[in-house]
Amino acid sequence: MRTIAVVGGGASGMMAAVTAASQGARVILLEHKDRIGKKILSTGNGRCNFTNVHQEPICYHSDNPLFPWGIISQFDAQAVISFFLQLGVYSKNRNGYIYPNSDQASAILDALRMEITRLNVDVRIGVNITEILFGKKGFTIRTDSGDVHSDRVIICAGSKAAPVTGSDGSGYDLAKRLGHHLVPVLPALVQLRCEGNFFKSIAGVRVNGRISIWSGGDRIAEDKGEIQLTDYGISGIPVFQVSRYASRLLYEKKDVTAVLDCMPDFTAEQMESFLNARAKTRPEKPVEMFLIGLFHKKLSELWIRQSCIPRDKRTGEMTKAEIKKLVGLIKHFKVRVISANSYEQAQVCCGGVDTKEVDENTLESIYVQGLYFAGEILDVDGMCGGYNLQWAWSSGYVAGKNSCYF
């Protein structure tokens, strides 16, 4: 019986272990935390959005853009749903977002742990790996608990995001020592810190809008949905979706501007006509009350201040130029992005082991025969909404299956 060592007991590591063990391999799962699967418990706000039925290549990002889809296609969302159903997890569909029917992330983790036990996977926790050596007789994994010998190794050690759950970036060093190179690893699906002393005055405000990221006069990315304003900048799912691009631009020392459109269903011309009509409806109303009922009061007060329109001026007396200024703030509220939040706040990372250095069908290293990678350690990150777990399941399955072929 061949022995396969899986480094990392997160989502991709557990899937790789289950897949390899189900094909008859002896599997050793090495995890440096005190239990496996910790990060799963925090996904989907504790409910675990474990995949999404709306799948397209654009849902996944990599410097090698065609790479992720080839892996996803081998074990897609329906395969994931079926896999967990076999393990006893009945799922429910919320507009394409798939959750356990129990709304408990622990259901996913418990199902995987029971399957790991059923398949007699040798789980070793609290194991810190210092080095992986490759020789004629296979692999020797140096740990603080002694050496582990195996015929194959699958590195599923995660990224640097949410290090409290175990993702401390240690897998990157192991990969580099084995000859692999990294695409810069940066926080993604994360909040953005912005310049401006006014953010404390609008902290806590939520607005349905569109965010676009600009640099050097070019629009790099955009997304739409509920944007959350904080005392340091911007948050919310649309911000998370574009944050990977801001992180990369900032890493490259480029200026980054976020433009917020707080009325995305209106064109600028329509917004101007709407405000003109609104001003004529109650011309006696003071300007400080002009936007009340249309936008959050904190946001309305900020825009009135920034437009420099006297607060006690009557709305019927506003000039066309003043209304245009308000339209500009509502439709093109520009803030300079100074940084992304840290790895501690990030859900995932962009960057990782260069996917040009692994086989696009099997996830085997092109440098070291019998070495495989899966999960966040690779230069692949998905959109918010179950896509990063889908990548973990797909890549874990592909690496686990192919590691059994001798």
- Domains of the chain by residue range: 3-184+352-402, 191-340
pLDDT category at 161 given cuts 50, 70, 90 is very high
pLDDT at 173 (0 to 100): 96
Cα–Cα separations (whole angstroms), residue 99 to 47, 73, 74, 89:
7, 21, 21, 9
Asked whether 330 and 263 are in contact (CB, 8 A), the reply is: yes
Exposure string for 132-144, b = 16+ CB within 10 A, e = fewer: bebeeebbbbebe
pLDDT at 270 (0 to 100): 98
pLDDT at 153 (0 to 100): 98
Mean pLDDT, all residues of the chain: 97
% of the chain residues with pLDDT over 90: 96
Rounded mean pLDDT, 156-169: 91
**pLDDT surpassing 90 at residue 346:** yes
pLDDT at 165 (0 to 100): 87
Q: What sign for the dihedral angle of Cα 51, 21, 42, 89?
A: positive
What tens digit of pLDDT does each residue of 71-121 get? 999 999 999 999 999 999 999 999 999 999 999 999 999 999 999 999 999
Asked whether 215 and 280 are in contact (CB, 8 A), the reply is: no
pLDDT at 327 (0 to 100): 98
Rounded mean pLDDT, 9-22: 98
The whole-angstrom separation of Cα 330 and Cα 325 is 9
DSSP readout, 331-377?
H-EEEEEEEE--TTT-SEEEEEE-GGGB-TTT-BBSSSTTEEE-GGG
Rounded mean pLDDT, 175-197: 97
% of the chain residues with pLDDT over 70: 100
Can you say whether residue 321 is alpha, beta or left, with left for phi > 0 and alpha for psi between -120 and 50 degrees?
Answer: alpha
What tens digit of pLDDT does each residue of 253-288 get? 999 999 999 999 999 999 999 999 999 999 999 999
Give me the helices (H) in 73-104, please.
77-86
pLDDT at 164 (0 to 100): 87
pLDDT at 166 (0 to 100): 82
Q: Are strands 381-382 and 60-61 parallel, antiparallel or unpaired?
A: antiparallel
Rounded mean pLDDT, 168-186: 97
What tens digit of pLDDT does each residue of 187-208 get? 999 999 999 999 999 999 999 9
Exposure string for 41-79, b = 16+ CB within 10 A, e = fewer: bebbeebbbbbbeebeeebbbbbbeebbbebbebbbbeb
Asked whether 368 and 134 are in contact (CB, 8 A), the reply is: yes
- Which range has the worst mean pLDDT, 142-151, 159-168, 270-279? 159-168
pLDDT at 37 (0 to 100): 95
Tokens 């129990």, located at residue? 102
The whole-angstrom separation of Cα 292 and Cα 120 is 63
**pLDDT surpassing 90 at residue 45:** no
Identify the CATH class of 191-340.
mainly alpha
**pLDDT surpassing 80 at residue 406:** no
- Which tokens sit at 78? 């329906």
pLDDT at 122 (0 to 100): 98
- Please provide residue 164's backbone torsions phi and psi, each rounded to the nearest 5 degrees: -65, -25
Selected from 3.50.50.60, 3.10.129.10, 3.40.50.300, 3.30.9.10, the CATH number assigned to the domain covering 3-184+352-402 reads: 3.50.50.60
pLDDT at 243 (0 to 100): 98
User: Which pTM value belongs to this model?
Assistant: 0.95
**pLDDT surpassing 90 at residue 44:** no
